[in-house]
Amino acid sequence: MKILVCISKAPDTTAKIAFTDGNTKFDENGVQFIVNPYDEWYALVRGLELKEANGGTVTVLNVGGAENDPIIRKALAIGADDAVRIDAAATDALSVAKQISNYAKDKGFDLIFLGKETIDYNGSQVGGMVAELMNLPYVSLATKIDVSGDVATVERDIEGGVEVVEVTGALVLSAAKGMAEARIPNMRGIMAARTKPLAVEAGTDVTAVTSIKNFELPPAKSACKLVAADNVEELVSLLHNEAKAI
Amino acid sequence: MSILIYADSSNGKLTKNAFEAANYGAQLAQQTGSSATALVTGTVSGIEELGKYGISKVLHASDATLDSFDPQKITHVIAEAAKSIGADTIIFSHDYSGKSVAPRLAAKLDAGLVSGAIALPNTDGGFVVKKAVFSGKAFAFVEVNSATKIVSVLPNSIEKKIGEGSAAIEAFAVEIPTTNLKVKEVRKESTELSLTEADIVVSAGRGLKGPENWGMIEELAHELGAATACSRPVADIGWRPHHEHVGQTGFAIRPNLYIAIGISGAIQHLAGVNGSKVIVVINTDAEAPFFKAADYGIVGDAFEVVPKLIEAVKKLKAQQ
């Protein structure tokens, strides 16, 4: 079984969000970058579990510059066999999806996994785009996958419930919470990651179709109105008359 | 400019998110002086209701093979519908269905997609859409430069404009491709209100001390017609099911009212709920970070405050 896990670089979940250059660029100053949690905790770990159960390989892929190598090494430390970095700027979702599909289309991957979204741009786009570009089924926000022969049974979240689908042959999947439990790399994994292959491939020439013009921080929240614990009726009255929320 | 809206359905009825997306498309059509057409797939009743949301024409691809949700098939049908009406803008809801179809369609049409829009596009000399980024900690204004533009609208984020009118329904015949995907089963938590669609959410955390104490949370939710949710630690230790976990790694929700009881408000939890219109925090610790993000708060013991709150809500409902 040949598994490809696409990983993205994201600011740490506790990073301070600020912008520079007239609010047009994310301020990376002092920001710790991590593997996007959905890619690492759920997509990568489930890929490794499937490999451990069925045999095969797990390759991680990232689109970006050499500054992304540390997070790629982290994925190798967790257990991926090898890695590919497409040396191209990750300008927008469609251009990243094109880089991934251009690389993956003739490699014969059985499963292509990624996280349900990145925690920076929250687009939830790349997986579906890769699937369409490669003409493969796509199961979004999947919480469970089991593989038997060339048939995968996958559960995915839907509005107020769960859908179970069966896919024959290769597929693209975006992983959500429930898919796997996060793994912490051990010392042996970290040592091994240093010598695992990390291939750098030139990107193909693609054009971005969206661009971020500028960012804005949310307005400061006005102070919380405190109500005394023995005056709960006052809270209900405020919610009804002032906030009009009940 | 011609706008096509994909109106999703569930169990033979259009969803709340579908009406919202339709209304977003209709408002955009009004803003740009263009027309808004909706597309409905599968066996669905009550389609003419879309008229109230500003849609005058609906294409209905009623082929029963579209009753089960296969993103590859739906994408094909939407692309055909867009071609038939010459649509240059396509609208989805940024819900589970939208997330699985909109990106496919974007790749198929080589179109720029803005997912999770929270306002109408600014079409003054371009096409710029506002969306939340960094898990709600900031907003981005995204410009779409492709000829065809796709927007998926974050549920519960736009002011709906509802009027009179009934939509004319036109049958839309289209060949459906075969795929390698089969829907085997759909399990709906039928007794519970869907967390992501609920207007009011009552949520509790470790401050409740144990799963046996959730009775009052459920009772408060019941009185308010609310869905119940929980923090990550509570789901991780198994006090509550994972599908109730809201936060950065669980569900992101944006109800009109979010009541957090016994939740300290870690940054990862706030990332999943900071889009809520009104936030109420009940916590024994006056220093809990959640109070900084709250509109209303009570510093007090949940075991004393919540029963009183249930009584006060009952009293209010009795007066209405």
How many angstroms away from the CA of A59 is the closest CA of chain B? 24
Residue A177 confidence (pLDDT): 87
How many angstroms away from the CA of B11 is the closest CA of chain A? 12
At B263, list the tokens: 């939740």
Encode pLDDT of A149-165 as tens digits.
Answer: 999 999 998 887 899 99
Residue among A125, A161, A217 whose CB faces B106 most closely: A125
Give the 3-state secondary structure of residue A67.
helix
Check the CA dihedral B177-B111-B142-A89 and report its sign.
Answer: positive
b/e map B230-239, b = 16+ CB within 10 Å = bbbbbbeeeb
Contact predicate B207/B284, CB 8 Å: yes
Residue among A17, A129, A239 whose CB faces B138 most closely: A17
Residue B154 DSSP symbol: P
Residue B47 confidence (pLDDT): 96
Q: Which fold has domain A2-214?
A: Rossmann fold (3.40.50)
- Distance between terminal CA atoms of chain A? 53
B113 neighbourhood in chain A, CB within 8 Å: 93-94, 123, 125, 210
Residue A13, CA atoms < 13 Å, CB-side half-sphere: 14
Strand B278-283's sheet: what is its strand order?
A: A225-226, B296-299, B278-283, B257-261, B200-204, B227-230
Is pLDDT above 80 for B301? Answer: yes
Q: Percentage of chain A with pLDDT > 70?
A: 100
Give the pLDDT band (50/70/90) at residue A64: very high
Mutation target among B8, B72, B104 for the A interface, most CBs of A within 10 A: B104
Residue A130: name the closest of A9, A218, A5 by CA: A5
Q: Percentage of chain B with pLDDT > 90?
A: 87
A6 neighbourhood in chain B, CB within 8 Å: none
Q: Are strands B89-93 and B112-117 parallel, antiparallel or unpaired?
A: unpaired
Residue A159 confidence (pLDDT): 81
B203 against B242, higher pLDDT:
B203
Give φ, ψ of B290 to 5 degrees. -60, -30
Give the pLDDT band (50/70/90) at residue B191: low
Residue B243 confidence (pLDDT): 83
The CA distance from B146 to B191, in Å, is: 44
Is pLDDT above 60 for B190? Answer: no
CB distance B296–A236 less than 8 Å? no
Residue among A97, A164, A178 whose CB faces B184 most closely: A164
Residue A209 confidence (pLDDT): 97
Is pLDDT above 70 for B233? Answer: yes
Chain B nearest-CA residue for A174: B100
Mean pLDDT, all residues of chain B: 95
A182 touches chain B (CB under 8 A): no
Encode pLDDT of A208-245 as tens digits.
Answer: 999 999 999 988 878 999 999 999 999 999 999 999 99
B241 neighbourhood in chain A, CB within 8 Å: none
A158 touches chain B (CB under 8 A): yes
Choice among A60-69, A75-84, B243-252, B278-287 with the minimum mean pLDDT:
B243-252
Residue B192 confidence (pLDDT): 60
Residue B193 confidence (pLDDT): 72
B69 neighbourhood in chain A, CB within 8 Å: 158, 163
CB distance A128–B99 less than 8 Å? yes
Mutation target among B11, B88, B101, B137 for the A interface, most CBs of A within 10 A: B137
- Average pLDDT (B266-274) is 93
Encode pLDDT of A114-135 as tens digits.
Answer: 999 999 999 999 999 999 999 9
Encode pLDDT of A76-114 as tens digits.
Answer: 999 999 999 999 999 999 999 999 999 999 999 999 999
Give the pLDDT band (50/70/90) at residue B196: confident
Encode pLDDT of B86-128 as tens digits.
Answer: 999 999 999 999 999 999 999 999 999 999 999 999 999 999 9
How many angstroms away from the CA of B104 is the closest CA of chain A? 5
Mean pLDDT, all residues of chain A: 96
Is pLDDT above 70 for B146? Answer: yes
- Average pLDDT (B175-203) is 87
CB distance A210–B114 less than 8 Å? yes
DSSP letter for each residue of B100-117: HHHHHHHHHHT-EEEEEE
**Domains defined for chain B, CATH in brackets:** 2-171 (3.40.50.620), 200-319 (3.40.50.1220)
Question: Which strand (E) or helix (H) includes residue B233?
Answer: helix B232-236
Q: Percentage of chain B with pLDDT > 70?
A: 99
Residue A74 confidence (pLDDT): 98
Residue A128 confidence (pLDDT): 98
Encode pLDDT of B12-70 as tens digits.
Answer: 999 999 999 999 999 999 999 999 999 999 999 999 999 999 999 999 999 999 999 99
Is pLDDT above 70 for B138? Answer: yes
Chain A nearest-CA residue for B130: A215
Residue among A177, A210, A215 whose CB faces B139 most closely: A215
The ranges assigned to domains in chain A are: 2-214
How many angstroms away from the CA of A131 is the closest CA of chain B? 7
Give the pLDDT band (50/70/90) at residue B248: confident
Mutation target among A42, A45, A156, A159 for the B interface, most CBs of B within 10 A: A159
Residue B252 confidence (pLDDT): 87
CB distance B183–A236 less than 8 Å? no
Residue A117, CA distances (Å) to A120, A174, A240, B165 in order: 9, 8, 36, 38
A23 touches chain B (CB under 8 A): no
How many angstroms away from the CA of A1 is the closest CA of chain B? 18
A102 touches chain B (CB under 8 A): no
CB distance B142–A210 less than 8 Å? yes
Residue B197, CA distances (Å) to A161, B96, B228 in order: 12, 12, 12
Residue B305, CA distances (Å) to B16, B285, B298 in order: 33, 14, 8
CB distance B187–A215 less than 8 Å? no
Residue B1 confidence (pLDDT): 78
